[in-house]
Amino acid sequence: MKGKGGFLSIGKKLPGSEARMWIKKDNRFVSQSYTRAYPLVVKRGKGMTIEDVDGNIFLDFTSGIATCSTGHCHPSVVEAITRQAGELIHMSGTDFYYPSQIKLAERLAKITPGNRNKRVFFGNSGAEAIEAAFKLARYHTKREMFIAFYGSFHGRTMGALSLTASKAVQRRYFNPLIPGVRHAPYAYCYRCHYNLTYPGCDIECVKWIRDVLFTNTIPPEEVAAIVVEPIQGEGGYVVPPKEFHTRLYSLAKEFGILYIADEVQSGMGRTGKMLASEHFGIKPDIITLAKGIASGMPVGAMVASSGIMDWIPGSHASTFGGNPVSCEAALVTIDLIQNELMENAAEIGEYLLNRLEEMKKEYEIIGDVRGKGLMIGIELVRDRETKEPADKEREKIIQRCFEKGLLLLGCGKNSVRFMPPLVVSRIDADTALSIFEEVLSEVEKKRCL
Ligand SMILES: Cc1ncc(COP(=O)(O)O)c(C=O)c1O
């Protein structure tokens, strides 16, 4: 079948024979802890498209989980990787110096909110960036406790997992985790924990931290940091009101608590600004970055003001962190994001949001549409009054979109996320919307039978 937009090409049967062979082998040898939404076995990617091992061509609205920010195999990124790989692949920035790591640190200090007086710790992943932030917050404040939020996802290493409160399956049988973390409700206004409505709620979720947590269980002077995603990612692409962050930030400052913004998913131009924190006017003490930073090459970064990063040599390090190839890929990625892609993310993001809002009027199953830039969540419900989560329908919709050539992923219990590479065009957006709408109408029709 030739799909809409002309560039999609999907065979009669998915998965094809080659894909089935690889999946069988995967089932035998690869950890079954991974969560594959559908049987896609990837051969190559270019720009917005993914070709599978049977020659099917899909439109990618996942970016390899918000990671391939400049699209698949952007020629400038490939050129930088190839050039650097021919010169130096690894020497370990923890024990030696090399220019690409220093250049990237300087660049990150410049493009993150606040003054440039910052330092950067390099790891290889989001979890490692969070782990570093966790350790630095304890080291700097000499305090033990942390506050994080329900619905948050910060990674799966033990420190990061202690902060994560997304799905029980991610924690089951892994206890005891790192002691000292307490969770509070996030500003998830569509399903307010307190059954209140913004703005009349007066941001009860922040007041609760002061009035209940700090009064009854956690002395605020024992809290090292509040760790928060500016926009919740895995938890459902939840965009809080601006005051949630500004008040949380003020609360943190009042008690000498560090404000750690986890921008692993929301950062690097995805929301139409370099960091999502900028939408809320926040200058975090510590910022964690990964995913979109290097167009798919592994690098995680923890950026902190120099006054906070006061640990001594030997206190933290990572052999592979900030390897030269990843750093060069990151430098080119940042150029591309700053020069054109951030603006494109804002423009196409707004277009997608408006079109999805229109679709919401037609399709009862859409309970909520929210997002900033190309971080868009569509929450699906069985009933708009009761807001009963349409979780099974969500799986069906993602599966059918795959069969029609559109790659999507879910988030939260019952939301679909649109997180295309930042190179997405208006034509790509229209193609994705028309497949999505076709599938919504199919699923709604079935519900009516
Ligand atoms: C906000 C956030 N923080 C941290 C992580 C963990 O990143 P990684 O999977 O690279 O360890 C993720 C991954 O989805 C994330 O979305």
User: Is residue 10 situated within a structural domain?
Assistant: no
Q: Is 292 in the pocket of ligand 1 (CB under 6 A)?
A: no
Q: If pLDDT is split at 50, 70 and 90, which confidence band does 6 have?
A: low
User: Is residue 352 situated within a structural domain?
Assistant: yes
User: Is residue 2 situated within a structural domain?
Assistant: no
Q: If pLDDT is split at 50, 70 and 90, which confidence band does 449 have?
A: low
Across the range 13-21, mean pLDDT stands at 95
Please identify, by atom number, the ligand 1 atom nearest to the C-alpha of residue 233.
Answer: 16
Output the pLDDT for position 232: 98
Across the range 170-175, mean pLDDT stands at 96
* CATH number of the domain bearing residue 127: 3.40.640.10
Site to substitute for ligand 1 among 237, 265, 293, most atoms within 8 A of C-beta:
265
Say if residue 405 is in the same domain as residue 292. Answer: no
Q: Is 62 in the pocket of ligand 1 (CB under 6 A)?
A: no
Output the pLDDT for position 9: 86
Say if residue 251 is in the same domain as residue 361. Answer: no
Going by CA atoms, what residue is nearest to atom 4 of ligand 1? Answer: 154
Say if residue 168 is in the same domain as residue 297. Answer: yes
Domain of 395? 17-74+342-448
Q: What is the pLDDT of residues 205-260, one digit of tens each?
A: 999 999 999 999 999 999 999 999 999 999 999 999 999 999 999 999 999 999 99
Residue 93 predicted with pLDDT over 50: yes
User: Is residue 6 situated within a structural domain?
Assistant: no
Residue with tokens 């560090």: 258
Q: Is 112 in the pocket of ligand 1 (CB under 6 A)?
A: no
Distance CA 376, CA 270 (A): 10
Q: Is 71 in the pocket of ligand 1 (CB under 6 A)?
A: no
Across the range 410-424, mean pLDDT stands at 98
Say if residue 141 is in the same domain as residue 22. Answer: no
Select from 336, 370, 393 the last residue of a domain.
336
Q: Is 149 in the pocket of ligand 1 (CB under 6 A)?
A: no
* CATH number of the domain bearing residue 374: 3.90.1150.10
Q: Is 265 in the pocket of ligand 1 (CB under 6 A)?
A: yes
Q: Is 125 in the pocket of ligand 1 (CB under 6 A)?
A: yes
Residue 3 predicted with pLDDT over 80: no
Across the range 105-125, mean pLDDT stands at 96
Residue with tokens 């009027």: 361
Q: What residues pair up with 415 in beta bridges, in sequence order?
A: 379, 411
Across the range 27-45, mean pLDDT stands at 97
The DSSP code sequence of 149-181 is: ETT----SSHHHHHH--S-GGGTTT--S--TTE
3-state secondary structure of 284: coil
Across the range 362-379, mean pLDDT stands at 98
User: Is residue 269 situated within a structural domain?
Assistant: yes
Residue 5 predicted with pLDDT over 70: no
Q: What is the pLDDT of residues 278-288, one digit of tens each?
A: 999 999 999 99
Say if residue 60 is in the same domain as residue 84. Answer: no
Select from 273, 302, 336 the last residue of a domain.
336
3-state secondary structure of 277: helix
Q: Is 298 in the pocket of ligand 1 (CB under 6 A)?
A: no
Please identify, by atom number, the ligand 1 atom nearest to the C-alpha of residue 156.
Answer: 11
Residue 1 predicted with pLDDT over 60: no
Lowest mean pLDDT among 8-17, 95-104, 400-409, 412-421: 8-17
Output the pLDDT for position 83: 98
How far is the centre of ligand 1, averaged over its atoms, from the C-alpha of 289 (Å)?
A: 9
How far is the centre of ligand 1, averaged over its atoms, from the C-alpha of 162 (Å)?
A: 13
Query: Which two tokens mark 6?
Result: 């002309």
Say if residue 202 is in the same domain as residue 249. Answer: yes
User: Is residue 434 situated within a structural domain?
Assistant: yes
Say if residue 154 is in the same domain as residue 245. Answer: yes
Residue 68 predicted with pLDDT over 90: yes
User: Is residue 241 situated within a structural domain?
Assistant: yes
Say if residue 176 is in the same domain as residue 263. Answer: yes
Distance CA 443, CA 440 (A): 5
Q: How many domains does the chain have?
A: 2
Query: Which two tokens mark 59?
Result: 């439109």
User: Is residue 8 situated within a structural domain?
Assistant: no
Select from 336, 361, 385 the last residue of a domain.
336
Say if residue 234 is in the same domain as residue 361. Answer: no
How far is the centre of ligand 1, averaged over its atoms, from the C-alpha of 18 (Å)?
A: 31
Distance CA 93, CA 127 (A): 19
How far is the centre of ligand 1, averaged over its atoms, from the C-alpha of 262 (Å)?
A: 9
Question: Average pLDDT, whole number, for the chain?
Answer: 96
Across the range 142-149, mean pLDDT stands at 98
Q: Is the pTM above the cut of 0.75?
A: yes
Across the range 38-43, mean pLDDT stands at 98
Distance CA 274, CA 277 (A): 9
Say if residue 131 is in the same domain as residue 160. Answer: yes
Output the pLDDT for position 2: 43
Say if residue 70 is in the same domain as residue 83. Answer: no
Say if residue 125 is in the same domain as residue 177. Answer: yes
Q: Is 238 in the pocket of ligand 1 (CB under 6 A)?
A: no
CB count, 10 Å around CB of 67? 22
